[in-house]
Structure 1
Amino acid sequence: MRWPHSVCFFWLVFLFQSGNSGLPSEIISLQGEWQFWNSNKTVNGTGNVPGDIYSDLYASGIIDNPLYGENHLNLKWVAEEEWTYHRKVLLHREDLTPGYFLDITSLDTIATIYWNGEKVMHTRNQFVPYNVNVTDLVISGYNEIRITFKSAVKYSKKRAEEKAQYSYAWDWGPSFPTVGIVDDIYLNVYRGHLFHDFTWKTNFVKGKWHVEFEFETFHYGSRTVDYVVEIPELGIREMDYYRMSSRKSMQSRSKNRLKFSIPPAKEPERWWPNGMGEPKLYEVIVSCGSQVKQRKIGFKTVELVQDFINPEKPEQGRNFYFKVNDVPIFLKGTNWIPVSMFRNKTVNFEKTKFLLDSVVEVGMNVLRVWGGVYAQVDRIAQFPSLLVFSGNNENEAAIRGHWWKTANYSENQQVKDYVLLYKRLGKITKDDTYLIPRCASEYGVQSYPLKETMLNWIDKSDWEYTSKEMFHRQHHPGGIATNLLMIFQHLPIPSQCDGIALSNISQCEYVTSSSYMSRLAYFSQIHQAVALKTQTLHYRRFRNITTDDGLGNTMCAMYWQLNDVWAAPTWSSIDFDQNWKMAHYEAKRFFANTAVFSFADEADFNLKVFILNDNMYDLKNVTVNVQQLSWGNGLDPILTNEFNISVVSAASSQIVETEMKFSKLNDLADFLYVTTLYNSTGAKIHEDVLVPDFLFEVDFNTFGDVRIGEVKKIDDLTYEITVTTDKVSPFTWISCKKPFLGWFTDNGFHMIQTLQKVRLISKVPVDLQKTDFSVCNLKNCYV
Structure 2
Amino acid sequence: MKLGILISRFCLIFCFFLVNSSLESFNKKYIIFDGIDTFSDIYLNKKLIGSTNNMFVRYTFSVEEFLKYQEEENVLEVIIKSPIRMANQFFNDYSNKIPPFCVPKEYNGECHVNYLRKMQSSFGWDWGPAFPSVGIWKSVRIVMFQDNLLEDIKTETIAANTSHWLLKTDIYIQCFESISNAKFKLALNTKKSIISIEQNCCNDICVKNEMHTGVELYVPKTDINTWWPNGYGEQPLYSLSIELETKNDIQSKTISIGFRTAELIQEQIDKNDPKLGLSFYFKINGVPIFAKGSNYIPANIFPENMNDENVINNLLTAAKQVDMNTIRVWGGGVYESDVFYKICDKLGIMVWQDMMFACNMYPAHQQFLETVEVEIKQQIRRLQYHPSIILWAGNNENEAALRGNWYGTRNNYSMFASDYITLYVNTIKKIVIEEDKTRNFLVSSPTNGLKSEEENYIAENPYSALYGDVHYYNYEVNSWSSIFFPWTRFASEYGLQSLPAYQTLQKAFDINDLITFPSPALIHRQHQPLGYGFMLYQIEINLPVPPKPTISDYVYLSQIVQARAMRIQTEWYRKHRNTLLKDGRGLTMGALYWQLNDVWQAPTWSSIDYDQRWKMLHYSASDFFSPIIIVPELEISNNLTIYAVSDSLADLEVIFNVEIYSWKSNIPLTTYISDTILLVSNALVISYLLNFNTCKKNNSAQLILNENYFNWLNAITQKCGQSKDQQIRSCFLHTKLYYNNINMTEASPSNYLFPSTFNKIIGYETPNISVTRIWQEKKNQINVKLESTGIGLFVWLNVTQTDGNFNENGFIMLNKTKTVKYMSNKDISLKQFNLEIEYLRTKFI
**Which TM class, normalised by the smaller chain length?**
0.7 to 0.9
Residues 384-533 of structure 1: matches in 2 within 5 Å? 384-390=387-393, 394=397, 395-399=399-403, 401=413, 402=417, 403=420, 414=461, 425-463=476-514, 464-494=516-546, 496=547, 510=548, 516-533=550-567
1:134 correspondence with 2:45: no
Deviation at 1:658, TM superposition (A): 5.8
Q: 1:202 aligns with which of 152, 157, 161?
A: 157
AA in 2 matched with 1:582: M
Deviation at 1:562, TM superposition (A): 0.5
Match of 1:657 in 2: 705
AA in 2 matched with 1:259: V
AA in 2 matched with 1:650: S
Residues 717-736 of structure 1: matches in 2 within 5 Å? 717-736=780-799
Match of 2:579 in 1: 545
Match of 1:282 in 2: 238
1:269 correspondence with 2:225: yes
Deviation at 1:201, TM superposition (A): 3.0
Deviation at 1:780, TM superposition (A): 8.7
Deviation at 1:288, TM superposition (A): 2.7
Q: Is the 8 A contact 1:92 1:139 kept in 2?
A: no
1:774 correspondence with 2:730: no
CA distance in 2: counterparts of 1:123 and 1:347, whole angstroms:
21
AA in 2 matched with 1:524: S
Q: Is the 8 A contact 1:627 1:639 kept in 2?
A: yes
Q: Which moved more, 1:102-111 or 1:224-233?
A: 224-233
Q: 2:648 aligns with which of 608, 612, 615?
A: 615
AA in 2 matched with 1:535: Q
**SS of the counterpart of 1:155?**
helix
Q: Is the 8 A contact 1:631 1:703 kept in 2?
A: no
Deviation at 1:771, TM superposition (A): 6.6
AA in 2 matched with 1:201: E
Match of 2:74 in 1: 143
CA distance in 1: counterparts of 2:262 and 2:678, whole angstroms:
29
Q: Is the 8 A contact 1:713 1:720 kept in 2?
A: yes
Deviation at 1:313, TM superposition (A): 1.9
Unmatched tracts of structure 2, length 5 or more: 91-114, 336-378, 405-412, 422-451, 683-699, 711-722
Q: 1:99 aligns with which of 19, 28, 33?
A: 28
Match of 2:315 in 1: 355
Deviation at 1:450, TM superposition (A): 2.2
Q: 2:382 aligns with which of 379, 384, 391?
A: 379
Q: Residue deviations 1:690-735, cap 9 Å, x none?
A: 2344211135961322122222222222222222212110100011
AA in 2 matched with 1:490: N
Task: With the length of structure 2 as denominator, give the TM-score of the two structures.
Answer: 0.77
**SS of the counterpart of 2:759?**
helix
Q: Is the 8 A contact 1:305 1:319 kept in 2?
A: yes
AA in 1 matched with 2:739: N
Q: Is the 8 A contact 1:112 1:149 kept in 2?
A: yes
AA in 1 matched with 2:214: L
CA distance in 1: counterparts of 2:326 and 2:177, whole angstroms:
44
Q: Is the 8 A contact 1:624 1:676 kept in 2?
A: yes
Match of 2:11 in 1: 83
**SS of the counterpart of 1:563?**
coil
Q: Is the 8 A contact 1:198 1:216 kept in 2?
A: no
Deviation at 1:299, TM superposition (A): 1.2
Match of 2:98 in 1: none
Match of 2:119 in 1: 164
CA distance in 1: counterparts of 2:453 and 2:253, whole angstroms:
46
Q: Residue deviations 1:85-143, cap 9 Å, x none?
A: 11111113347344211011000000111111100101001101011111111122211
Q: Is the 8 A contact 1:625 1:677 kept in 2?
A: yes
**SS of the counterpart of 1:608?**
strand
Q: Which has the bigger relative contact order, CA under 8 A and spacing at least 6?
A: 1
Q: Is the 8 A contact 2:498 2:559 kept in 1?
A: yes
Match of 1:175 in 2: 130
**SS of the counterpart of 1:299?**
coil
1:256 correspondence with 2:212: yes
Deviation at 1:265, TM superposition (A): 5.8
Q: Is the 8 A contact 2:473 2:494 kept in 1?
A: no
Q: Which moved more, 1:172-181 or 1:400-409?
A: 400-409
Q: Is the 8 A contact 2:10 2:82 kept in 1?
A: yes
Deviation at 1:220, TM superposition (A): 6.0
AA in 1 matched with 2:613: N
Deviation at 1:467, TM superposition (A): 1.3
Q: Residue deviations 1:539-563, cap 9 Å, x none?
A: 1111111112221111011110111
AA in 1 matched with 2:135: G
Cα 1:755–1:517, aligned 2, differ >3 Å: closer, same or farther? same
Task: With the length of structure 1 as denominator, give the TM-score of the two structures.
Answer: 0.82
AA in 2 matched with 1:748: G
Deviation at 1:261, TM superposition (A): 3.2
Cα 1:275–1:235, aligned 2, differ >3 Å: closer, same or farther? same
Cα 1:424–1:314, aligned 2, differ >3 Å: closer, same or farther? farther
1:684 correspondence with 2:752: no
1:590 correspondence with 2:624: yes
Q: Is the 8 A contact 2:14 2:78 kept in 1?
A: yes
Q: Is the 8 A contact 2:792 2:839 kept in 1?
A: yes
Unmatched tracts of structure 1, length 5 or more: 1-29, 40-80, 497-509
**SS of the counterpart of 1:546?**
coil
Deviation at 1:190, TM superposition (A): 2.1
Q: Is the 8 A contact 1:336 1:367 kept in 2?
A: yes
CA distance in 2: counterparts of 1:85 and 1:536, whole angstroms:
48
Deviation >6 Å, runs of 4+: 244-247, 408-413, 415-424, 780-783
Cα 1:229–1:477, aligned 2, differ >3 Å: closer, same or farther? same
Deviation at 1:391, TM superposition (A): 6.8
Cα 1:781–1:409, aligned 2, differ >3 Å: closer, same or farther? farther
CA distance in 1: counterparts of 2:808 and 2:583, whole angstroms:
40
Q: Residue deviations 1:182-213, cap 9 Å, x none?
A: 00111112234443443333334455424123
How large is the RMSD of aligned CA atoms in angstroms? 2.9
Match of 1:367 in 2: 327
Cα 1:612–1:417, aligned 2, differ >3 Å: closer, same or farther? closer
Identity of aligned residues (%): 29
Deviation at 1:607, TM superposition (A): 2.2
1:643 correspondence with 2:694: no
